[in-house]
């Protein structure tokens, strides 16, 4: 019987996926799965947790909350993680391993940078940052980044057999830590949605060029314009005020608070803000319901005034439409329509600014105007897109030069123009046109341009209307860049009362403060009722000077660890502590030491 032979093929049967001797995954699928967690960490930082946390912190500027943006970024996180892992898995051997280490090291260094190494730049409102001051810190930061990369590579070399487990384990831990923080962000956002009530609004601009045939009260509010800036302008541009000789210049006007909020609300309502006991949302809602505010705006209504505020940031003035209803007439319910590509670009820039090393941050400097461009203002009633007021004044200046003012005999006009003043970024030229390069302008040129806009507006007024109008040019607060300099702490103030004329602009050095604004306006429109509101500016200067105030600016004491401000009467800082005032950032003795070292009296 013949034996049967079974032929054996020379082709080897399929084997299980193997690992090279070096321990590097050999098959694409293994490389892909191994790369998932380190790649996920990098994407999680830059395209998921980082953007959502920044959106939550800057919700009022961005125009969308974190929960709304969550689905977009969740989808981006999954897609980008899979794509990056798949691309990395195309490489093999040392190329793959070094790429994976680099991704893990970059993600770890970004995490450390964003959470522990960033200096305090303050609000990114366009203010020019002198990067030369951070040269040493930037160099140290680069060394730390290099140290993180070296540490990752050294750890993988020491734990050669477990290097991939190490990379995946550290990545998983950091993802979980940030994931827990993201849950907290979403919970805060959900809570804010539940507690938020009322209707969002905007300030309509259709009557911005309307003037009354009878009476006009016109206020130009120039943000951050200090007496220091005015004095510098008088020296640099002595002819700039040639057309303002009918105004009285008050060289010593003290604001009550150091920033636009709450100072603007205090100026317009007379309601004080106790920031130690009342939230800013509550204050914005209650200020307009105060007795003085209700009485003031009732007088304007009784005298036939259309009351309008032209401002680009409604949140500065009120939390909702209902708060201003009955006080301000040019408000309308609003909705925002998001321009998604612009929003994603702006948030990406802000994320990179946070997580990139200090040496690269100047490439990603961004300000809140980038977010304004990412939203469209829609009227909630009509559904039509609206043109929002822009505080830089360029569009207003263009309208002044190319459109005619509207004269009305049906009503009087109370108008407040909220303009940029000396606020950074300095993008306005002397000719009141935009300087294209962010931060390339100067404060002096911008102030000159702002007064050119005001000059053009006044030139458009018929002589009889100009003479009979009460016109106020003022600032909500001074300029913190100058620290404790007296003229810097003070807010600029120019007033032309009815039928006031001068050949040379008068200067008044008697201390005044913003509590005199409402009585000054009431004196102009209903003089018999002015006494109930306080003392007008011109009457303060005739009487006993107001007591000096103590000004402790947040910028002036930052080097000593404080981030506080305080204004009080009497020139005695201990009086504030006796009233229960507590500084944030330091104890009483430390604050007194700072106080004794410089002149805080104003």
Q: Does the pLDDT of residue 75 top 50, yes or no?
A: yes
How far does Cα 334 stand from its chain's mean position?
A: 21
Q: In this structure, are residues 498 and 523 in contact, taking their beta carbons and an 8 Å threshold?
A: no
Cα 318 → chain centroid? 16
How much is the average pLDDT of 60-66? Answer: 78
Structure tokens at 55: 């959106």
Backbone phi, then psi, for 337, in 5-degree steps? -110, 120
Cα-to-chain-centroid distance, residue 476: 16
Look at residue 136 and give its three-state secondary structure.
helix
For residues 168 and 585, what is the distance between their CA atoms, to the nearest angstrom?
Answer: 40
Contact yes or no for 515/272 (Cβ under 8 A)? no
Alpha carbon distance, N-terminus to C-terminus of the chain: 122
Half-sphere exposure in the Cβ direction for 117 (13 Å, CA):
25
- Phi, psi (degrees; rounded to nearest 5) at 181: -65, -35
Q: Which long-range CB contacts under 8 A does 25-29 form with residues at least 24 apart? A: 25/96, 25/164, 26/92, 28/89, 28/90, 29/89
Contacts of 522 (CB under 8 A, 6+ apart): 296, 299, 529, 530, 532, 533
SS3 per-residue string spanning 360-386: HHHHHCCCCHHHHCCEEEEECCCCCEC
d(CA 439, CA 427): 6
* Beta-ladder partners of 508: 250
Q: What is the mean pLDDT of residues 455-484?
A: 86
* Lowest mean pLDDT, pick from 195-209, 251-265, 416-430, 441-455: 251-265
Taking 90 as the threshold, does the pLDDT of residue 599 lie above it?
no
Token look-up 């800013």 returns 280
- Residue 423: pLDDT over 90: no
Q: What pLDDT sits at residue 418?
A: 97
Is residue 132 scored above 70 in pLDDT?
A: yes
DSSP 257: S
Which residues, other chains included, contact 584 with Cβ-Cβ below 8 Å and sequence gap of 6+?
562, 563, 564
Please say whether the beta carbons of 63 and 336 come within 8 A: yes
Helices of type H across 461-534: 463-468, 486-489, 517-525
Whether this model's pTM surpasses 0.85? no
**Structure tokens belonging to residue 459:** 């030139």
User: With bands split at pLDDT 50, 70 and 90, how would you rate the model's confidence at 404?
Assistant: very high
SS3 state at 138: helix
Q: pLDDT for 508-525, tens place per residue?
A: 988 788 889 999 999 999
């Amino acid at each position: 019987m013949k034996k049967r032979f079974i032929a054996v093929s020379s082709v080897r049967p399929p084997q299980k996926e193997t690992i090279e001797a070096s321990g590097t995954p050999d098959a694409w699928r293994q490389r892909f799965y191994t790369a998932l967690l380190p790649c996920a960490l990098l994407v999680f930082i830059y395209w998921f947790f980082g953007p959502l946390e920044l959106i939550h912190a800057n919700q009022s500027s961005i125009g969308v909350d974190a929960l709304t943006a969550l689905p977009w970024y969740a989808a981006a996180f999954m897609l980008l993680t899979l794509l990056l892992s798949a691309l990395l898995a195309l490489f093999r051997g040392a190329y793959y391993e070094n790429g994976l280490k680099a991704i893990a090291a970059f993600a770890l260094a970004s995490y450390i940078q964003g959470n522990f190494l960033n200096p305090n730049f303050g609000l990114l409102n366009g203010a020019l940052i002198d990067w030369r001051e951070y040269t040493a810190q930037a160099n140290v930061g680069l060394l730390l980044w290099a140290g993180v990369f070296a540490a990752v590579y050294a750890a993988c070399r020491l734990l050669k057999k477990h290097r991939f487990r190490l990379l995946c384990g550290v990545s998983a831990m950091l993802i979980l830590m940030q994931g827990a923080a993201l849950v907290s962000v979403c919970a805060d956002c959900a809570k804010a949605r539940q507690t938020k009530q009322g209707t969002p609004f905007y300030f309509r601009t259709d009557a911005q060029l309307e003037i009354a045939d009878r009476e006009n009260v016109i206020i130009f509010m120039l943000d951050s314009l200090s007496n220091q800036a005015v004095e510098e302008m008088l020296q640099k541009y002595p002819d700039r005020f040639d057309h303002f000789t009918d105004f009285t210049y008050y060289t010593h006007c003290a604001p009550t608070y150091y920033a636009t909020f709450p100072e603007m609300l205090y100026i317009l309502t007379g309601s004080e803000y106790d920031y130690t006991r009342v939230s800013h949302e509550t204050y914005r809602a209650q200020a307009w319901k105060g007795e003085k505010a209700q009485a003031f705006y009732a007088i304007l209504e009784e005298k036939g005034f259309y009351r309008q505020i032209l401002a680009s940031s409604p949140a500065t003035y009120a939390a909702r439409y209902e708060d201003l209803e009955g006080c301000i007439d040019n408000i309308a319910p609003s909705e925002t329509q998001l321009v998604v590509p612009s929003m994603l670009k702006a948030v990406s820039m802000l994320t990179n600014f946070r997580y990139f090393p200090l040496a690269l941050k100047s490439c990603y400097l961004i300000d809140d105007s980038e977010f304004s461009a990412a939203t469209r203002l829609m009227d909630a009633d009509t559904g039509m897109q609206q043109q929002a007021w822009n505080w830089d004044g360029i569009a207003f200046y263009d309208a002044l030069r190319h459109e005619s003012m509207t004269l009305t005999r049906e009503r009087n006009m109370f108008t407040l123009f909220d303009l940029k003043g000396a606020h950074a970024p300095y993008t306005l030229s002397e000719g009141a046109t935009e300087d294209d390069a962010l931060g390339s302008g100067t404060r002096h040129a911008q102030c000159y341009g702002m007064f050119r806009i005001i000059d053009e507006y006044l030139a458009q007024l018929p002589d009889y209307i100009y003479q009979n109008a009460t016109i106020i040019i003022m600032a909500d607060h001074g300029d913190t860049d100058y620290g404790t300099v007296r003229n810097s702490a003070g807010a600029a103030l120019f007033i032309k009362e009815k039928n006031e004329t001068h050949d040379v602009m008068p200067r008044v050095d008697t201390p005044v403060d913003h509590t005199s604004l409402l009585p000054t306006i009431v004196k102009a429109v209903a003089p018999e009722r002015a006494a109930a509101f306080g003392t007008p500016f011109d009457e303060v200067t005739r009487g006993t000077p107001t007591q000096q105030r103590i000004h402790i600016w947040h910028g002036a004491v930052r080097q000593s660890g404080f981030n506080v401000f305080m204004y009080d009467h009497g020139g005695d800082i201990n009086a504030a502590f006796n009233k229960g005032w507590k500084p944030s950032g330091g104890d009483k003795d430390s604050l007194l030491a700072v106080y004794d070292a410089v002149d805080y009296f104003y």
